[in-house]
Amino acid sequence: DTGVSQDPRHKITKRGQNVTFRCDPISEHNRLYWYRQTLGQGPEFLTYFQNEAQLEKSRLLSDRFSAERPKGSFSTLEIQRTEQGDSAMYLCASSLPPYIANSYNEQFFGPGTRLTVL
Amino acid sequence: AQKITQTQPGMFVQEKEAVTLDCTYDTSDPSYGLFWYKQPSSGEMIFLIYQGSYDQQNATEGRYSLNFQKARKSANLVISASQLGDSAMYFCAMRTQGGSEKLVFGKGTKLTVNP
């Protein structure tokens, strides 16, 4: 039983470059979430997919950020023209649809991608 | 809007002792869910325990229990018989209702278990 996986685990880039992260959720999970965690803070919601549809985006997700989940399986998060303020841990999580989940319906998190923008 | 407050940036406990990590929340929704997650230095968030707003009894999962006081809007995590491996960041989170059901997290508490 594989969990949520993310790639790469670490990314160092120069300001102004584009970066792309990948998340592979647990196979039967149709919900996928992206969160961002900066140093000393809890994770903050960025965006949410149900199957291939992106249904909610946070105001934190500026126009430099784009996320996709083309076939309702893996997802990518791209940051264009990176800035030093983008340095953070990017966490992906997945969960079952509520109608087949238990009352917990907890989100299962991946190990995260740590981005450093120089 | 939902908000989670964790007022303890750091806590220390001796191995085998119990420790309580505080969490207060704010929401106007009558139906909500509260979670505790553990984040070791490796970075992965690990689900520990859940409490639903309509649950009559406090949740328990092994050495973890949740002291849920609805009127006070608090959901404190109690870890009994602390182990060295419990040293980590602990986050309290609330699930929003409807739509994405995204999680709103507090700032976390860093727990250090001393031998």
Residues A40, A45, A47, A49: is their CA dihedral positive or negative? positive
> What integer pLDDT is reported at residue B49 of this predicted model?
96
Q: Which residues of A touch B97 (CB under 8 A)?
A: none
Which residues are A65's β-sheet partners?
A79
Nearest chain B residue to A88 by CA distance is B43
Q: Does B33 touch chain A (CB under 8 A)?
A: yes
Question: What spatial distance separates the first Cα and last Cα of chain B, rounded to whole Å?
Answer: 41
- Judged by CB atoms closer than 8 Å, whether chains meet at B103 and A107 is answered as yes
Give A60-97 pLDDT, tens digit per residue: 888 999 999 998 899 999 999 999 999 999 999 999 88
> Is A45:A96 a contact under the CB 8 Å cutoff?
no
Instruction: Write the DSSP assignment of A15-62 as a string of letters.
Output: TT--EEEEEE--TT--EEEEEEE-TTS--EEEEEEETTEEEEE-TTS-
Q: Does B93 touch chain A (CB under 8 A)?
A: yes
d(CA A69, CA A53): 7
Residue B106's identity, in one-letter code, is G
> Helix, strand, or coil here: A90?
strand
> Helix, strand, or coil here: B111?
strand
Give B25-66 pLDDT, tens digit per residue: 999 888 899 999 999 998 899 999 999 999 989 999 999 999
d(CA A56, CA A47): 6
Q: Does B98 touch chain A (CB under 8 A)?
A: no
Whether residue A1 is predicted with pLDDT greater than 60 in this model: the reply is: no
Give B64-105 pLDDT, tens digit per residue: 999 999 999 999 999 999 999 999 999 999 997 777 789 999
Q: Does B105 touch chain A (CB under 8 A)?
A: yes
Nearest chain A residue to B105 by CA distance is A42
- Judged by CB atoms closer than 8 Å, whether chains meet at A93 and B33 is answered as no
Q: Which of A76, A98, A94, A72 is nearest to A4 (CA)?
A: A94
Q: Does B54 touch chain A (CB under 8 A)?
A: no
> Helix, strand, or coil here: B85?
helix
Nearest chain B residue to A4 by CA distance is B44
